Structure 1
């Protein structure tokens, strides 16, 4: 353990490192008017660490944080890392019943929530706990075995906790290939309760970059922030990129985005037409994609130039080996769809552990997170969909992501979610829930209907994949992290049928 202390830098020391590099009064994180300096971040997180120690929390304790984007959540993270506790970050928008289910699985030592109702009903502590502590005496950071825990219900809706093995420290000589600029702030567009925003924001702070966050994603505000702060690095999920692309040209052209050198997208399938649009807009060398999962068993990366040569791919594996297998665990021929299993270079079981779920493995220690896909002859990976999302209709496999991407190529479609509903003839019929673009008239578009979309899809996908039924909405279907509650959408529609 002492050897690790020499090689690694404790996460709790990131604010102090930033203060030493930039000055205590230089800002570290900002969300609109909520601005915190490196010095304030160091002091406030230390106050909270003392307050937590006084309450008996320490090494190995799991603490659930249900907090929105803002300086509070960073203060909590650095305080927990200082005492060796593990932050378990969840969405602050979760319904009470769902949060209760997660807590039953996680069994945290403490719950912290911004919602007064949750504070009352769950006995959660308020976000300002420890902010008035007057103890600023030095507190040596404690090395711990796990540095974060994230929640995932997947498509099944059954909560599971994905724990990242520690230590709660970074190796300054082993930086992930995120292509951060040499200096300057990054724009963090996503909610920190999702894995990639949390991980990349923390890595940026570790490398000394201030972080500009967004309390809630707004497409025009994102462009304004890029312009105002000459942002060179940012990340999106495809939903965000779609919302930016749907802005009127007069709005998009108001902002100078020429400072952008690296734009990442991740977390959800990318419609090919949308990706091509962004490549045409910013250049292929600027657009980067990362495929992976919170479990960390596989990571694939590619840039826009590679994508143009391997259209639809999510990249080649970095630091892991991939196998595409059938239901019996046998590798399928190149180009055929199967389930994606991977083995990280660090070895089986080295990148995560579950609370509330079991690993799915095959011979050799290869594991899966449930995605289907295939590989080409150059080792580029292509994603079909999740095992639990696949629809078997009339004996044919339909992967919703492909149909959703085709639908979202229509200019009047802002988002689409495809689910399978019971059908007496086909077993399951493909049903599309379509979010219509706001203010169609301003875009010179007509209201879409099922006939229009069916005709549009016939030019893009095979007939049996075309939805048999449609519904249209103005409500958002995905959250700011690009996640969709597909199983809940399906259950809601089954309930409506049962009631009627």
Structure 2
């Protein structure tokens, strides 16, 4: 199994059909394959060898699609970088992964000098006009003879996706070709994924594996990728209408903005047949509004995590119509096995909350250069998700809490320790704790509880800006609560459950 397999099949079966539509430009599958082979040749000419890492820092585009195919074609490993991260976070990922090449677009090219200072050794390939001293990708594609496909596949690493880390630094999740294709094929077998031969809109960021899963499925099932640089309600609505999009994946925050925005209200969205969502649960109120605005669309929830490539359970359109199941995360996908276990990894009875674990060929190879953390996460052969949930008597999973100290805000994972480590560096902060609290827009928001140093004064905006200089802005606290003392256990541990209880009392679950 290899990711470029679908490209060869598309060229054989539908060479003249559109592969990508972006910014007024349409490229066929035959054109796509030719560009991918030349893109791979350009990488090889730069010295990229088997297993080398090639990173990309860019907004969504048709070139991003070609990058994801050209890297394995060149027998290398892709490293999609989170564009919402701060410079230090991006530099960390480049340095730790040992990226040999960084492909960058015009938006992020001004960051290159800073990144090179903190993560020296990579070659820059530019997708646009800047920086002028970097290799011009389009000139390289035009002027380089194509190379044969290395057909890298199977258990060989395909990509490293970085996620937040429990220790305060990001972790690189290593996924193989088999991991990604098993997840896509297994999810497609439910007939609740992207529609065969349809048009998939990429509005969620392509660096995120939630979007990446649908990208793999669209390649496998045939059809067209319609791509917008990023999410705006009007931009998504316009693309759906103009290009007759049949399916798309959005995080719940995006769905809410799409259906509630007056800027998107006048567009015809009746071509949409399948709306996939994931990364965080969706409220029933938003789901009701979305169903009214998008009456032709069926809804599918995909639950999982990057370490699971990323899908492990599916809540199908039929499940959405069943009373009481909208709050479920679905049932195990055909490629996955799930259990709910106690602290000793023993199964708990139906209806009892424990940790959700999963097993199957979709489970990651491990964390990049972190054998101890890999062993802990995959103990007993099961991926321990850190999510607290329960199974009902029919095998439906309900996620109700998080065992890991993690917040999901707008579909992005934030580990509290990441924020606390930065927040504590401010001279006005004597102690702090970061938790997730309910938020109507973001599902959860990052909330800081702060004890000030004696005689110190500081406001919430100042602390937020302090954090945003070191970590991604979405990780910085959206709200701050000042208190005289934090609740502590006898062992001196902050009792975050008490802090969380103030905000989650009366909620049916402790996550949003």
Q: TM-score, normalised by structure 1?
A: 0.72
The answer on 1:279 being equivalent to 2:286 is: no
Aligned to 1:419: 447
Q: Assess if the C-alpha contact under 8 Å between 1:16 and 1:38 holds in 2.
A: no
Aligned to 1:316: 331
DSSP 3-state at the match of 1:335: coil
Aligned to 2:51: 60
Q: Assess if the C-alpha contact under 8 Å between 1:187 and 1:235 holds in 2.
A: yes
CA deviation after TM superposition for structure 1 residue 198, in Å: 1.9
Aligned to 1:116: 109
Q: Assess if the C-alpha contact under 8 Å between 2:314 and 2:331 holds in 1.
A: yes
For residues 400-411 of structure 1, the aligned pairs below 5 Å read 404=438, 407-408=439-440
For residues 327-342 of structure 1, the aligned pairs below 5 Å read 327-342=343-358
1:488 to 476, 482, 487: 476
The answer on 1:139 being equivalent to 2:148 is: yes
DSSP 3-state at the match of 1:50: helix
Aligned to 2:364: 351
- CA distance in 1: counterparts of 2:377 and 2:265, whole angstroms: 50
Q: Assess if the C-alpha contact under 8 Å between 1:156 and 1:388 holds in 2.
A: no
Q: Structure 1 110/362 Cα, relative in aligned 2: closer, same or farther at 3 Å?
A: closer
Q: Structure 1 38/367 Cα, relative in aligned 2: closer, same or farther at 3 Å?
A: closer
Q: Structure 1 137/374 Cα, relative in aligned 2: closer, same or farther at 3 Å?
A: closer
Q: Assess if the C-alpha contact under 8 Å between 2:184 and 2:213 holds in 1.
A: no
- CA distance in 2: counterparts of 1:95 and 1:61, whole angstroms: 24
CA deviation after TM superposition for structure 1 residue 126, in Å: 2.6
The answer on 1:264 being equivalent to 2:281 is: no
Of 141-150 and 61-70, deviating more is 141-150
Gaps of 5+ in 2: 117-121, 128-134, 408-415, 417-433, 453-458, 465-471, 486-512
The answer on 1:231 being equivalent to 2:245 is: yes
Deviations 1:220-241 (A, max 9, x none): 2222222222222122110111
Of 204-213 and 318-327, deviating more is 318-327
- CA distance in 2: counterparts of 1:190 and 1:40, whole angstroms: 25
CA deviation after TM superposition for structure 1 residue 29, in Å: 1.2
CA deviation after TM superposition for structure 1 residue 414, in Å: 7.0
Aligned to 2:232: 218
Q: Structure 1 97/258 Cα, relative in aligned 2: closer, same or farther at 3 Å?
A: same
Q: Assess if the C-alpha contact under 8 Å between 1:204 and 1:210 holds in 2.
A: yes
Aligned to 1:161: 172
Q: Structure 1 400/279 Cα, relative in aligned 2: closer, same or farther at 3 Å?
A: farther
Q: Assess if the C-alpha contact under 8 Å between 1:146 and 1:166 holds in 2.
A: yes
CA deviation after TM superposition for structure 1 residue 497, in Å: 11
Q: Structure 1 328/11 Cα, relative in aligned 2: closer, same or farther at 3 Å?
A: closer
Gaps of 5+ in 1: 1-7, 392-398, 425-469, 476-483
Aligned to 1:479: none
- CA distance in 2: counterparts of 1:14 and 1:151, whole angstroms: 25
- CA distance in 2: counterparts of 1:328 and 1:422, whole angstroms: 35
CA deviation after TM superposition for structure 1 residue 290, in Å: 0.6
1:69 to 56, 60, 65: 60
Q: Assess if the C-alpha contact under 8 Å between 1:81 and 1:141 holds in 2.
A: yes
